[in-house]
């Protein structure tokens, strides 16, 4: 076919019939303009080239059922659509990456907090384990089970002053045992102070 076929309508008609030369002429006529339009929107040359190629591959694959009233409008509309989809996908990707980074950061922060609280819990359990049995029982009832001094006194059938003595003794030992965790204790375990 000669290059004298300038009518887009005739080129589309020939393309629908499967004419390779008509497709080649459409490609040569519009490729660069479509590329420049897409590149102006997406800024990445390789991505712009790929999108233009996708437009022409799609036209060739759908050539037998192609219904185009105005080839130029059709091609530039397809280019704008490709660029818009690309930009949307980039925004979604960036949003996802940002959210993922925030989740990872929060997870790391929460993980550190959980590990610190586990260490604290282990240190408290170890400190309580070093107390005499009676002092452990009184401490657990009062501080961990939230029983009042009076309730502990009645439960264990001992004077309230004895309960207070054992609590004072337990808190003194735990404060020494947990001195490395004092900051965490202030925030996490106010029941000890």
Reported pTM: 0.51
- CA separation for the pair 95, 37 (Å, rounded): 26
Q: Write the CB contacts of 118 (distance below 8 Å, at least 6 apart in sequence).
A: none
Q: Which CATH class name applies to 130-192?
A: mainly alpha
pLDDT tens digit sequence for 160-185: 899 888 888 888 887 777 776 655 44
23-27, 99-103, 141-145: which range is least confident on average? 99-103
pLDDT tens profile 105-162: 766 666 666 676 677 777 778 878 888 899 888 888 888 888 888 998 998 999 989 9
Mean pLDDT is lowest, of 5-14, 68-77, 124-133, 179-188, for 179-188
**Is residue 1 within 8 Å of 63, Cβ to Cβ?**
no
Q: Is-contact 60 24, C-beta < 8 A?
A: no
Are residues 152 and 138 in contact, defined by beta-carbon separation less than 8 angstroms?
yes
Q: Where are the domains of the chain?
A: 8-95, 130-192
The average confidence (pLDDT) of the chain is: 83
Pick from 144, 140, 162: which is nearest to 153 by CA? 162
Looking at domain 8-95, does it have CATH number 1.10.3720.10?
A: no
């Amino acid at each position: 076919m000669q290059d004298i076929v300038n009518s887009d309508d005739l080129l589309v008609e020939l393309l629908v019939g499967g004419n390779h030369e008509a497709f080649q002429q459409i490609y040569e006529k519009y490729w660069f303009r479509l590329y420049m339009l897409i590149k102006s929107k997406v800024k990445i040359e390789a991505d712009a080239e790929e999108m233009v190629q996708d437009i022409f591959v799609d036209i060739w694959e759908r050539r037998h059922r192609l219904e185009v009233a105005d080839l130029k409008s059709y091609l530039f509309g397809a280019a704008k659509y490709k660029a818009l989809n690309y930009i949307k996908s980039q925004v979604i990707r960036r949003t996802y990456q940002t959210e993922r980074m925030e989740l990872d950061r929060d997870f790391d922060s929460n993980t550190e907090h959980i590990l610190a609280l586990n260490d604290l819990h282990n240190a408290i359990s170890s400190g309580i384990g070093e107390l005499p049995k009676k002092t452990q029982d009184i401490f657990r009832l009062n501080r961990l089970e939230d029983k009042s001094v009076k309730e502990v006194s009645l439960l264990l059938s001992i004077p309230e002053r004895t309960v207070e003595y054992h609590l004072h003794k337990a808190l003194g030992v735990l404060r020494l045992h947990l001195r490395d965790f004092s900051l965490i204790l202030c925030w996490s375990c106010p029941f000890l102070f």
